[in-house]
Amino acid sequence: MRTAIYPGSFDPLTNGHLDIIQRAAKLFDRVIVAVARNESKHPLFTLQQRLKLVQLALGGIPNVEADAFDGLLVDYAQRREGDAIIRGLRAVSDFEFEFQLALMNRKLNSRVETIFMMPRETYTFLSSRLVKEVASLGGDVDPFVPAHVKSALRRKFGRRARKS
Protein backbone atom coordinates (compact mmCIF):
# COMPACT_ATOMS: atom_id res chain seq x y z
CA MET A 1 0.00 0.00 0.00
CA ARG A 2 1.63 3.22 -1.19
CA THR A 3 0.66 6.40 0.62
CA ALA A 4 1.35 9.97 -0.49
CA ILE A 5 1.06 13.04 1.70
CA TYR A 6 0.11 16.28 -0.07
CA PRO A 7 0.83 19.07 2.41
CA GLY A 8 0.01 22.76 2.14
CA SER A 9 -1.74 25.72 3.67
CA PHE A 10 -4.76 25.38 1.34
CA ASP A 11 -5.88 28.90 2.25
CA PRO A 12 -8.15 28.22 0.44
CA LEU A 13 -8.08 25.13 -1.78
CA THR A 14 -8.03 26.01 -5.51
CA ASN A 15 -8.64 24.07 -8.72
CA GLY A 16 -4.85 23.88 -9.07
CA HIS A 17 -4.62 21.95 -5.79
CA LEU A 18 -7.49 19.70 -6.92
CA ASP A 19 -5.72 18.97 -10.20
CA ILE A 20 -2.63 17.79 -8.30
CA ILE A 21 -4.78 15.72 -5.90
CA GLN A 22 -6.48 13.95 -8.82
CA ARG A 23 -3.16 13.17 -10.48
CA ALA A 24 -1.65 11.85 -7.24
CA ALA A 25 -4.74 9.71 -6.58
CA LYS A 26 -4.07 7.85 -9.83
CA LEU A 27 -0.49 7.03 -8.82
CA PHE A 28 -0.92 6.12 -5.14
CA ASP A 29 -3.17 3.74 -3.26
CA ARG A 30 -3.91 6.41 -0.68
CA VAL A 31 -3.43 10.20 -0.71
CA ILE A 32 -3.64 12.27 2.46
CA VAL A 33 -4.18 15.99 1.88
CA ALA A 34 -2.49 17.43 4.95
CA VAL A 35 -3.60 20.94 5.88
CA ALA A 36 -0.86 22.72 7.80
CA ARG A 37 -1.75 24.92 10.75
CA ASN A 38 0.79 27.55 9.56
CA GLU A 39 -0.34 30.29 11.94
CA SER A 40 2.81 32.24 11.11
CA LYS A 41 1.41 32.79 7.60
CA HIS A 42 -1.67 34.48 9.13
CA PRO A 43 -4.14 32.48 7.04
CA LEU A 44 -7.47 34.02 6.00
CA PHE A 45 -9.35 30.84 6.94
CA THR A 46 -8.92 28.98 10.24
CA LEU A 47 -7.40 25.52 10.20
CA GLN A 48 -10.85 23.95 10.69
CA GLN A 49 -12.33 26.01 7.85
CA ARG A 50 -9.47 25.12 5.49
CA LEU A 51 -9.81 21.44 6.36
CA LYS A 52 -13.57 21.52 5.81
CA LEU A 53 -13.16 23.20 2.40
CA VAL A 54 -10.71 20.46 1.37
CA GLN A 55 -12.99 17.69 2.69
CA LEU A 56 -15.98 19.03 0.76
CA ALA A 57 -13.94 19.00 -2.46
CA LEU A 58 -12.86 15.37 -2.07
CA GLY A 59 -16.34 13.87 -2.31
CA GLY A 60 -15.89 11.80 -5.45
CA ILE A 61 -12.32 10.58 -4.94
CA PRO A 62 -12.39 7.35 -2.92
CA ASN A 63 -8.69 6.96 -2.05
CA VAL A 64 -8.12 10.53 -0.84
CA GLU A 65 -8.66 11.83 2.68
CA ALA A 66 -7.99 15.14 4.40
CA ASP A 67 -6.30 15.75 7.73
CA ALA A 68 -4.81 18.65 9.69
CA PHE A 69 -1.28 18.71 11.05
CA ASP A 70 1.06 20.85 13.05
CA GLY A 71 4.80 20.61 13.54
CA LEU A 72 7.38 19.00 11.28
CA LEU A 73 6.03 17.57 8.03
CA VAL A 74 8.48 14.65 8.01
CA ASP A 75 7.34 13.62 11.50
CA TYR A 76 3.74 13.73 10.35
CA ALA A 77 4.59 11.77 7.18
CA GLN A 78 6.29 9.08 9.25
CA ARG A 79 3.35 8.87 11.69
CA ARG A 80 0.93 8.40 8.79
CA GLU A 81 3.26 5.89 7.09
CA GLY A 82 3.68 8.13 4.05
CA ASP A 83 6.02 6.92 1.32
CA ALA A 84 6.15 10.22 -0.51
CA ILE A 85 5.48 13.91 -0.12
CA ILE A 86 3.73 15.47 -3.11
CA ARG A 87 4.38 19.10 -4.02
CA GLY A 88 3.04 21.03 -6.98
CA LEU A 89 5.35 22.92 -9.32
CA ARG A 90 3.75 25.70 -11.29
CA ALA A 91 6.69 27.53 -12.76
CA VAL A 92 10.42 27.84 -12.49
CA SER A 93 9.83 30.42 -9.76
CA ASP A 94 8.48 27.67 -7.46
CA PHE A 95 11.52 25.54 -8.06
CA GLU A 96 14.21 27.10 -5.88
CA PHE A 97 12.19 27.12 -2.68
CA GLU A 98 10.65 23.70 -3.30
CA PHE A 99 14.09 22.24 -4.05
CA GLN A 100 15.47 23.57 -0.76
CA LEU A 101 12.46 22.30 1.13
CA ALA A 102 12.72 18.83 -0.41
CA LEU A 103 16.42 18.55 0.44
CA MET A 104 15.85 19.79 3.98
CA ASN A 105 13.09 17.25 4.46
CA ARG A 106 15.40 14.54 3.13
CA LYS A 107 18.06 15.60 5.66
CA LEU A 108 15.48 15.39 8.44
CA ASN A 109 14.21 12.00 7.33
CA SER A 110 15.89 10.18 4.45
CA ARG A 111 13.05 7.66 4.13
CA VAL A 112 10.49 10.13 2.81
CA GLU A 113 10.80 11.03 -0.89
CA THR A 114 9.45 14.26 -2.38
CA ILE A 115 7.67 14.01 -5.72
CA PHE A 116 6.90 17.08 -7.82
CA MET A 117 3.84 17.18 -10.02
CA MET A 118 2.76 19.73 -12.61
CA PRO A 119 -0.84 20.87 -12.94
CA ARG A 120 -2.75 21.41 -16.18
CA GLU A 121 -1.19 24.40 -17.98
CA THR A 122 -4.26 26.55 -17.34
CA TYR A 123 -3.63 26.33 -13.60
CA THR A 124 0.03 27.29 -13.67
CA PHE A 125 -0.77 30.91 -12.83
CA LEU A 126 -3.15 30.03 -10.01
CA SER A 127 -2.35 30.56 -6.34
CA SER A 128 -4.41 30.86 -3.17
CA ARG A 129 -2.90 34.30 -2.63
CA LEU A 130 -4.12 35.63 -6.01
CA VAL A 131 -7.55 34.05 -5.58
CA LYS A 132 -7.94 35.85 -2.23
CA GLU A 133 -6.85 39.11 -3.78
CA VAL A 134 -9.30 38.81 -6.68
CA ALA A 135 -12.14 37.81 -4.32
CA SER A 136 -11.40 40.65 -1.92
CA LEU A 137 -11.73 43.13 -4.79
CA GLY A 138 -15.02 41.67 -5.98
CA GLY A 139 -13.62 39.79 -8.99
CA ASP A 140 -15.04 36.54 -10.35
CA VAL A 141 -13.22 33.53 -8.92
CA ASP A 142 -15.50 30.99 -10.62
CA PRO A 143 -12.84 29.54 -12.93
CA PHE A 144 -10.33 29.14 -10.12
CA VAL A 145 -12.05 27.44 -7.18
CA PRO A 146 -14.90 24.96 -6.51
CA ALA A 147 -18.33 26.54 -5.85
CA HIS A 148 -18.24 25.96 -2.08
CA VAL A 149 -14.87 27.74 -1.84
CA LYS A 150 -16.31 30.66 -3.79
CA SER A 151 -19.17 30.85 -1.26
CA ALA A 152 -16.72 30.76 1.65
CA LEU A 153 -14.72 33.60 0.09
CA ARG A 154 -17.94 35.56 -0.34
CA ARG A 155 -18.76 35.10 3.33
CA LYS A 156 -15.28 36.33 4.28
CA PHE A 157 -15.26 39.37 2.07
CA GLY A 158 -18.96 40.25 2.26
CA ARG A 159 -20.65 42.58 -0.19
CA ARG A 160 -17.61 43.45 -2.28
CA ALA A 161 -17.17 39.83 -3.43
CA ARG A 162 -20.84 39.50 -4.30
CA LYS A 163 -20.50 41.30 -7.64
CA SER A 164 -19.28 38.14 -9.39
Catalytic residue among 2, 41, 79, 111: 41
State which of residues 77, 85, 88, 112 lies at the interface with ligand ADP (CB under 6 A): 88
Catalytic residue among 9, 50, 87, 128: 128
Which residues 110-139 are close enough to bind ligand ADP by CB under 6 A? Answer: 119, 123, 126-128
Instruction: Verify whether residue 41 is a known catalytic residue.
Output: yes
Nearer to ligand ADP, 14 or 161 (CB): 14
The Cα 25–Cα 62 span in angstroms is 9
The residue type of 54 is V
- Asked if omega into 12 is within 30° of 0 (cis), the reply is yes
Per-residue binding letters, 10-49, with ligand ADP (x by CB under 6 A): x---x-xx--x-----------------------------
Shortest reach from residue 162's CB to ligand ADP, in Å? 25
Chain residues in the site for ligand ADP (CB under 6 A): 8-10, 14, 16-17, 20, 87-88, 90, 94, 119, 123, 126-128
